[in-house]
Chains A and B, each alone.
Chain A
Amino acid sequence: MPMQVQSVYAWLRARLPLDSVLDLAEHKTVPVHRYSICYYLGGMTLFFFCVQVVTGILLMLYYRPSAGEAFESVEFLMTTVPFGWLIRSIHSWSANLMIFFLFVHLATVYFMKAYRPPREMTWVTGTLLLFLALAFGFSGYLLPWNRLAFFATNVGTDIAGAVPVIGGYLMRFLRGGDRVTGGTLSRFYGWHVAILPAITTAVLGIHLLLVQIQGMSVPPSEEETAKQRRPMKFVPNFLLRDIFGWTLALALLATLAALFPWALGEKADPFAPAFADIRPEWYFMFMFETLKFVPGGEVLGIDYESIPILLFGLLGLTILLVPFLDRNADSPGRTSTFTLLGVILLVYVTGLTAWGYRSWLPILITLALALVIYLHGRGTGRAGRSGEK
């Protein structure tokens, strides 16, 4: 190590607990078993979150949060600012990929039953992060102030208004008034760049701290295999693989942004007739499609539309509280009720998303992911057996 680096290190060491951090890094290990590939998903989500933070701050340099200027400022950014189109496209693609990896991460953690004691709070904070990411997506969608976003926000906030008892208040709270206006835009901007990031930083900090304290969870069915095999050192083995994955993710982002730059559309016009093809972001599509199946009418003074909305709320709460509801999570080799419920939910969400887009792509992506995890598991299992011989 050069002298200058050594002296800087010594200066820092005298002021910060560097030794304990290095000690932690040296002794931290990752279990190796059939589903070890799933351990990279959290880091991948975190990478996209970091891209979101950096590109989001950059976009704030040019964005103007008012109904009269928002669209024009994004247009200026896309057409005149050097690499403005690239930064905006990377921000949009990265947001979608972050939510995609969050869903995949949550699903793998769920099916690996990593929410078992003592990791209940890790699961709860992770689920809260998913809800926060969805709120980020919903608030960010309106910011370019284009026609599609304007009408989709009208529909989205209308749905919130259908919640029994508190619906009216909730809708006014979201819109900042009775209608979607420039006030709504300012409000969504505030949520998007200040309130949600503050909450997310706190929850993410707790989540990462818990992961560090408790280490990686091994699924009940793989505990024996993990005990037989030597765990992987976090530094440098796992970290280098993580960095390799992030480099691929960055390349994917650059490719998507360059080949499919995020469109801006037309400026929102509150007096224009409703947009013919209103659709939310893909991660709300299954809820949107469900509501389309609901006929008009009411029962016991409750709109039919309110019933699925309440059920979605209940579903969110159930997912949040899964560690406290699944009592048989520790039993290996048995397909528990919760695993079955998870499969049904996965099929439902994927199926309705595919139906909403009239495309097989969501189903193909889900099957491809399952295949990658399966093939990696087979490869890892074979390598483990040959290593033991």
Chain B
Amino acid sequence: MERDVPNTRRRNIVNWLLGGSVAGLVASVVYPLARFVSPPEVPEAATDQYTVNIVRKSGGAPSSIVILRS
């Protein structure tokens, strides 16, 4: 029975190492996925509206027009 003690201890260490590795692997997969599926804070650029700046050759103040897609 005495010979089983160090074996059990070694087995526990291996179990912790394996368990920790698996937990690390799972976390490294789940974390990026969880971040990916959450909508980003910066919204996607609207593609149905364009702003065009017009610079006058005569040197007057620049003006802009907005084109909207109906």
The interface of chain A, by Cβ under 8 A from chain B, is 58, 61, 68-69, 72-73, 76, 80-84, 86-87, 247, 250, 254
Contacts and interface: CB of A to CB of B under 8 A. Distances in A.
Contacts of A83: 32-33, 35-36
Contacts of A76: 44-45
A82 B40 contact: yes
Interface residues of B, number: 14
A72 B48 CA distance: 13
A61 B37 CA distance: 8
Nearest to A86: B32
Interface in B18-70: 25, 28-29, 32-33, 35-38, 40, 42, 44-45, 47
A73 B44 contact: yes
A248 to B, nearest CB: 12
Contacts of B47: 68-69, 72
A243 B26 CA distance: 14
Contacts of A61: 36-37
B40 A80 contact: yes
B45 A82 contact: no
A189 to B, nearest CB: 18
Contacts of A58: 33, 36-37
The 9 closest A-B pairs by CB, nearest first: A82-B35, A83-B32, A83-B36, A76-B44, A80-B40, A81-B40, A80-B42, A83-B35, A87-B36
A272 B58 CA distance: 33
